[in-house]
A and B are shown apart, each in its own frame.
Chain A
Amino acid sequence: MKRHLSPLGRGLIACAAVLLVAGVADAALHNVLAQNPFGAPRSAAEPEVGGVIGWLLAKQSEFYRQMSATIRAAKTDGSAVWTLLFISFAYGIFHAAGPGHGKAVIASYLVANRETARRGIVLSFASALMQSLVAILIVGISAWVLNATAKTMCKAEGAIEIASYALIALFGLRLVWVKGGTLIRALQAAQPVPAIAGVPHHHDDGHHHHDAHDHHDHDHGHVHAQHGHDHVHDEHCGHSHGPAPSELAGPGGWRRGFAAILTVGIRPCSGAILVLVFALAQGLFWAGIAATLLMGLGTAITVAAIAVVAVFAKDVAGRLSAGRDGGGALFMRGIEFGAAGLVLLFGAGLLFGYIAAERTTCF
């Protein structure tokens, strides 16, 4: 038993290390960015919650606050529109780097569902686009067409927000259910004696197929590792740990992806709504729409970058843990289950107000 579990333990530590490095690198990047405007270098030992967030927030605020002045300027000076588009784009990038559950949910989803980096990018862009469109629709319908008051609009926003958090929780619950089942099967399969023979009869073909896949692959895994890094990252990941790309593109695959897009994309950004209403009040609704779409594009780029890092981190963890027969697969199922649990935690946390920072304030 001891021997059997030790590579697992090593793999877990490796994965935790990779995730921690990713987290620290995230903070470090902010640090590096933070140093430029002030010139003076800061000590690396400074607590992460220090001036970096302050700077990030200040930067966001700066871009965001420039928007209203720029929209005003665009009324008389057409060239200000270009400035507006640039500011919106930059705001989007910073906005997603700071707060927001979107990137966390997408990253967790990708890890839980053995997705490829390419799909991560597609999901990031699709959900950001949806987010922009929802904001445009809310303001377009309620303010422009119905001339509703801010109170009504904010209530609508609040209702959508609650719904979106509930969706995240449900989505997480479903992931936990599916991944929990897979993990249990992997645990059974890892026990040497009768489990392997027993498993296929109790469960549907699809999952059996995956399990078989993984077991076969572990012999290949060694070969791959010895070959070095000639393989394309995506393909390697897709072949050894996940279902084939064709399976992903099948009805279940895209429907599953759509659920992720819907879950993240349905909640509009309050900032976008404010910008849109303000633009509408200035008689420049189209400029607000353009700004919102550019904000979405900026957001998508940041989220996609984080998604790629998450997929890569999982891939590295997978390679590190693939040292022993059986243990590696079990370990990866454990990671997937953990990621599924994170999505559920986010959803529940947001829904029940533990992450109160993301509640719309209506007043």
Chain B
Amino acid sequence: MGMRAPFGLLLAAGLTLAGSAARAHPHVWITASSELLYAADGTITGVRHAWTFDDMFSAYAVQGLEGKTKGAYTREELGPLAQTNVESLKEYAYFTFARADGKKERFQEPVDYFLDYKDTVLTLHFTLPLKNPVKPRQLMLEVFDRSFFIDFQMAKDNPVKLVGAPAGCQMKLERPSDGTASAQKLNEQTFMSGENANFGMMFANKITVDCP
């Protein structure tokens, strides 16, 4: 008697409904600009990020902090918060994923980090040194939150800078979906590529640098 098949169907149906429970949506918006840091010999040594939070999250983050002037916070006053930020970001791999010629690269703990507060929003600055500096033909850098709790958008102006890159290097930025027509295009592409066909990938900012 084929009792198992209907039970399987039932389970599948249940999981279809349950699947919606796994869909996330952002609570924090970050406008990012990133710099790729090159050494004199053309190797890539790390990434320097500047992440500007939305004003709602900024208000949340400075809650309970006392500034000398009301409504303003100095870099020193925000020091402990910046420390907390970069320490917590470790768990999420700094939302920064690098591949040199297809090979995954890892980052060391952040250096030169600080927060500034301007026009009611916080900007977190930090540098991620690569564990092993690389000199690939192609570097791919992705900035995104897999769970999409945070929505990363690269800045409109100067989203990516190559600092000290050898002549002839070309940078290309692919922005994530904005929920309209491009979402579908990106989505198809995501599924076509097979691997990493995962939800958060739809929201990745993909920076590709090709060097001769």
Q: Do A and B bind each other?
A: yes
The complex places the Cα of A363 from the Cα of B179 at a distance, in Å, of 26
| B184 lies within 8 A of A19 (CB) | no
The complex places the Cα of A149 from the Cα of B65 at a distance, in Å, of 7
The stretch that binds B, out of A82-90, A121-129, A222-230, A350-358, is A350-358
The complex places the Cα of A50 from the Cα of B188 at a distance, in Å, of 8
CB nearest neighbor in B for A14 = B6
- In the complex, what residues of B have CB within 8 A of residue A53's CB? 23
A20 within 8 A of B: yes
Determine which of A15, A54, A274, A275 lies in contact with B10 in the assembled complex, contact meaning CB atoms within 8 Å. Answer: A15
The complex places the Cα of A60 from the Cα of B25 at a distance, in Å, of 8
| A358 lies within 8 A of B84 (CB) | no
- Report B122 CB to chain A, min CB distance, Å: 11
- In the complex, what residues of B have CB within 8 A of residue A67's CB? 56
The stretch that binds A, out of B37-45, B85-93, B128-136, is B85-93
- In the complex, what residues of B have CB within 8 A of residue A20's CB? 9, 12-13, 16
The stretch that binds B, out of A2-10, A205-213, A234-242, A247-255, is A2-10
The stretch that binds B, out of A96-104, A130-138, A176-184, A195-203, is A96-104
| A54 lies within 8 A of B180 (CB) | yes
| B63 lies within 8 A of A280 (CB) | yes
A193 within 8 A of B: no
The complex places the Cα of A104 from the Cα of B18 at a distance, in Å, of 6
Q: Chain B CB within 10 Å — which of A54, A60, A274 has the most?
A: A54
B111 within 8 A of A: no
| B10 lies within 8 A of A16 (CB) | yes
| B147 lies within 8 A of A95 (CB) | no
| B26 lies within 8 A of A101 (CB) | no
| A50 lies within 8 A of B1 (CB) | no
A79 within 8 A of B: no
Q: A152-B64, A277-B63, A281-B59 are in contact. Are A16 and B92 (CB under 8 A)?
A: no
Q: A49-B187, A150-B60, A281-B63 are in contact. Are A358 and B179 (CB under 8 A)?
A: no
The complex places the Cα of A363 from the Cα of B110 at a distance, in Å, of 14
| A12 lies within 8 A of B3 (CB) | yes
Q: CB-defined interface of A1-44 with B at 8 Å, one 1/0 digit per residue?
A: 11001101100110111011011101000000000001000000
Q: A9-B1, A280-B63, A363-B84 are in contact. Are A104 and B27 (CB under 8 A)?
A: no
- Report A271 CB to chain B, min CB distance, Å: 6
Q: CB-defined interface of B1-24 with A at 8 Å, one 1/0 digit per residue?
A: 111001101111110111011111
Residues of chain B in range 35-58 having any CB-CB distance to chain A below 8 Å: 54-57
The complex places the Cα of A233 from the Cα of B178 at a distance, in Å, of 43
CB nearest neighbor in B for A104 = B21
| B10 lies within 8 A of A361 (CB) | no
The complex places the Cα of A125 from the Cα of B92 at a distance, in Å, of 35
Interface residues on B, range: 35 or more
| A8 lies within 8 A of B179 (CB) | no
CB nearest neighbor in B for A101 = B21
Q: A9-B2, A361-B28 are in contact. Are A54 and B23 (CB under 8 A)?
A: no
Determine which of B55, B88, B187 lies in contact with A362 in the assembled complex, contact meaning CB atoms within 8 Å. Answer: B88
A143 within 8 A of B: yes
The stretch that binds A, out of B101-109, B148-156, B162-170, B204-212, is B148-156
The complex places the Cα of A206 from the Cα of B180 at a distance, in Å, of 55
| A153 lies within 8 A of B63 (CB) | yes
| A345 lies within 8 A of B18 (CB) | yes
A51 within 8 A of B: yes
- In the complex, what residues of B have CB within 8 A of residue A8's CB? 3
A65 within 8 A of B: yes
- In the complex, what residues of B have CB within 8 A of residue A323's CB? none
- Report A107 CB to chain B, min CB distance, Å: 7
Determine which of A59, A270, A278, A355 lies in contact with B21 in the assembled complex, contact meaning CB atoms within 8 Å. Answer: A355
Q: A1-B1, A12-B3 are in contact. Are A47 and B64 (CB under 8 A)?
A: no
The complex places the Cα of A53 from the Cα of B113 at a distance, in Å, of 35
| B21 lies within 8 A of A338 (CB) | no
The complex places the Cα of A150 from the Cα of B178 at a distance, in Å, of 29
- In the complex, what residues of B have CB within 8 A of residue A59's CB? 179
- In the complex, what residues of B have CB within 8 A of residue A38's CB? 180-181
| B23 lies within 8 A of A98 (CB) | yes
The contact sample of 15 A-B pairs, CB cut-off 8 A, is: A5-B1, A12-B9, A51-B183, A54-B183, A68-B59, A99-B22, A147-B64, A150-B64, A274-B56, A282-B59, A357-B23, A357-B199, A358-B21, A361-B28, A361-B149
B contact set with A: CB distance below 8 Å: 1-3, 6-7, 9-14, 16-18, 20-29, 54-57, 59-65, 81, 84-85, 88-89, 92, 145-151, 177-181, 183-184, 187-188, 191, 199, 202
A contact set with B: CB distance below 8 Å: 1-2, 5-6, 8-9, 12-13, 15-17, 19-20, 22-24, 26, 38, 46-47, 49-51, 53-61, 64-65, 67-68, 95, 98-101, 103-104, 107, 143, 147-153, 270-271, 273-275, 277-278, 280-282, 335, 338-339, 342, 345-346, 355-363
Q: Which 7 A-B pairs have the closest CB atoms?
A: A58-B179, A54-B183, A12-B6, A19-B13, A357-B24, A16-B9, A149-B64
Beyond the given pairs A47-B187, A103-B21, 4 more chain A to chain B contacts, judged by CB atoms under 8 angstroms and listed by A's residue number, are A51-B181, A57-B26, A58-B179, A143-B63
